A = this chain, B = another copy of it.
Amino acid sequence: MTVTIKPRQQDFPQWYQDVVSAADLAENAPVRGCMVIKPYGYRLWENIRDPLDAMFKETGHENAYFPLFIPKSFLEREAEHVEGFSPELAVVTIGGGKELEEPLVVRPTSETIIGHSYARWINSWRDLPVLINQWANVVRWEMRPRLFLRTTEFLWQEGHTCHATEEEAERETLQMLDVYERLSRDWLAIPVVKGIKSDSERFAGALRTYTIEGLMQDGKALQMGTSHNLGQNFAKAFEIQFQDQDGQRKHVWTTSWGASTRLVGAVVMTHGDDKGIVLPPMVAPIQVVAVPIYKTEEEKTAILEAGRKIVDALVGGGVRAKLDAREHLKPGPKFFEWEKKGVPVRLEIGPRDLAKGEVVVVRRDDGTKRPERAGALAGLLPGLLQEIQAALLARAQKLRDENTRDASSFAQLVELLDGPGGFVRAYWDGTRETEASIKEKTKATVRCVPLGDAPAPGKCVLTGKPATRRALFARAY
């Protein structure tokens, strides 16, 4: 289980693989492109999933569950949708020992099968809005898989809502984007840019796709969640209609929005360092680990007892604390292990300090150590964890801001992308052709046109044509 961690500066992709493995988060499954999420990684996912689920419920959504299998013909009803997803499908052709008459697609996303239900559920304006979310596994065949970031099967949530008006659907789409931003900022300590996707990066079948984009430590962007205003595209494909208050039958306006286990990868790549992953306290499975240090049997008894007392007090105060009482490991290897696993705070409980009534408190994020009164820990640590959470966000924010630059010429765009990387803001004429050409020349894509940037006249960085908006370019995962 000893994993050497490649330094980030030398080989970031290898570093990522190393720290994911060293922290025991996940591993590749025997089925190509799939992963096994190990208990520690799954607990981290639970700690991301649960607050997100709570936010969905707070904003009036309910969970439901729709089938894993989708008749192939359903996908074909929305032309862009089937075109977008066809190359990635896993298809069941045999069921119960027989060749199926109609092949079943393993859901890559559920707009179609859910649209089919909604068409039956909705009759009147009184049935609207429909605000439903589903936690599920989905499958998109993946040629170049990477744990959490891109896997053939992944876990996610997908919200699917119906509204009586276009305005309401747009409001919902943006509300859920805000929910994702809040989760990222307040729980994952990751600042994101909210923006709108270009046509070529739009969800297949959507009118508009909004995104939250994070910037990883290697200067590459990561799409962390998307929220789609689907207009009436799926409503028309599946005949989702309602009788409005004016007596007319109308198509509903739908939205969908999703975030996935990819968020675990975002946490790793935003906060990790060369010793391992670094977890924001809000989502850390273990927030505080106490490591006893002793030599004699007598010391052991006293130290373990003190450790248990401290941990019990912390747990009683709502801190996820753990005493590492394993006897076959010395303190050193324990320190390394918990560092690799990114536990925010380590307590070193040794006889000399304890004689003074003290314990050494070590922060994972900055490595600082300081002695604290043992009896004061339960009062102190909730605040310290908040401080660490804020420090991680501030550090990520600083890195993001320092790596967001403007390019006023194509040469400068190339120079920035080839050099420091990061986000590069540049005027873009808004066409698919220009985007494709820039992508071909630089390997960077339009991550989004940030929301809130006021339109201002400029010239496209590639074509020189008039442009009103600056896009955020970056190489991306």
Measured CB to CB, the residues of A under 8 A from B are 27, 29-31, 34-39, 41-43, 45-46, 62-71, 74, 86-97, 103-104, 106, 113, 116-117, 126, 132, 136-137, 139, 141-143, 152-153, 155, 328
Q: Is B93's CB under 8 angstroms from A94's CB?
A: yes
Q: Is B67's CB under 8 angstroms from A39's CB?
A: no
Alpha-carbon gap, A65 to B151, bound state (A): 13
In the complex, besides A42-B65, A92-B92, 4 extra interface pairs with C-beta distance below 8 angstroms are A30-B74, A68-B137, A91-B93, A93-B94
User: In the complex, which of the residues A30, A38, A143 has the most CB atoms of chain B within 10 Å of its own CB atom?
Assistant: A30
A137 interface neighbour in B36, B41, B132, B137, Cβ under 8 Å:
B137
A113 interface neighbour in B30, B96, B136, B155, Cβ under 8 Å:
B30
Summarize A's interface: helix, strand, loop or mixed. Answer: mixed
Q: Given contacts A39-B62, A43-B62, A95-B141, are A31 and B90 in contact (CB under 8 A)? A: no
Q: For residue A31, which residues in chain B have a CB less than 8 angstroms away from its CB?
A: 67, 69-71, 104, 113
Q: Is B141's CB under 8 angstroms from A67's CB?
A: no
| Copies of the protein in its oligomer | 2
Q: For residue A37, which residues in chain B have a CB less than 8 angstroms away from its CB?
A: 64-66
Q: Given contacts A67-B35, A116-B30, are A90 and B92 in contact (CB under 8 A)? A: yes
Alpha-carbon gap, A17 to B29, bound state (A): 40
Q: Is A94's CB under 8 angstroms from B104's CB?
A: no
Q: For residue A65, which residues in chain B have a CB less than 8 angstroms away from its CB?
A: 36-37, 42, 45, 155
Alpha-carbon gap, A66 to B126, bound state (A): 42
Q: Given contacts A31-B70, A93-B93, are A64 and B42 in contact (CB under 8 A)? A: yes
Closest 8 pairs (CB-CB, A-B)? A96-B141, A39-B62, A34-B67, A37-B65, A91-B94, A29-B67, A93-B93, A31-B69
Alpha-carbon gap, A314 to B292, bound state (A): 46
Closest-CB distance, A460 to chain B (whole angstroms): 36
Alpha-carbon gap, A136 to B27, bound state (A): 18
Closest-CB distance, A332 to chain B (whole angstroms): 18
29 A-B residue pairs with CB within 8 Å? A29-B66, A29-B113, A31-B69, A31-B71, A36-B67, A37-B64, A37-B66, A39-B62, A39-B64, A42-B65, A43-B63, A46-B63, A67-B153, A68-B137, A68-B139, A86-B97, A87-B97, A88-B96, A89-B97, A90-B95, A90-B96, A90-B104, A92-B93, A93-B93, A93-B94, A95-B141, A96-B141, A126-B328, A136-B137
Alpha-carbon gap, A438 to B143, bound state (A): 54
Nearest B residue to A45, CB-CB: B65
Q: For residue A34, which residues in chain B have a CB less than 8 angstroms away from its CB?
A: 67-69
Alpha-carbon gap, A43 to B89, bound state (A): 30
Q: For residue A132, which residues in chain B have a CB less than 8 angstroms away from its CB?
A: 39
Closest-CB distance, A411 to chain B (whole angstroms): 38
Q: Given contacts A90-B92, A95-B91, A96-B88, are A66 and B113 in contact (CB under 8 A)? A: no
A64 interface neighbour in B36, B103, B152, Cβ under 8 Å:
B36
Q: Is A71's CB under 8 angstroms from B30's CB?
A: yes
Closest-CB distance, A132 to chain B (whole angstroms): 6
Q: For residue A94, which residues in chain B have a CB less than 8 angstroms away from its CB?
A: 89-91, 93, 103
Nearest B residue to A29, CB-CB: B67
A36 interface neighbour in B39, B71, B117, B126, Cβ under 8 Å:
B117
Q: Is B91's CB under 8 angstroms from A87's CB?
A: no
Nearest B residue to A120, CB-CB: B27
A153 interface neighbour in B45, B68, B103, B126, Cβ under 8 Å:
B68
Alpha-carbon gap, A152 to B96, bound state (A): 10
Q: Is B88's CB under 8 angstroms from A153's CB?
A: no
Nearest B residue to A328, CB-CB: B126
Alpha-carbon gap, A74 to B38, bound state (A): 20
Alpha-carbon gap, A132 to B37, bound state (A): 11
Q: For residue A90, which residues in chain B have a CB less than 8 angstroms away from its CB?
A: 69, 92, 94-96, 104
Alpha-carbon gap, A38 to B132, bound state (A): 9
Closest-CB distance, A207 to chain B (whole angstroms): 26
Q: Is A63's CB under 8 angstroms from B42's CB?
A: yes
Q: Is A66's CB under 8 angstroms from B137's CB?
A: no
User: In the complex, which of the residues A27, A31, A37, A66 has the most CB atoms of chain B within 10 Å of its own CB atom?
Assistant: A31
Q: Is B93's CB under 8 angstroms from A89's CB?
A: no
A39 interface neighbour in B39, B63, B95, B103, Cβ under 8 Å:
B63
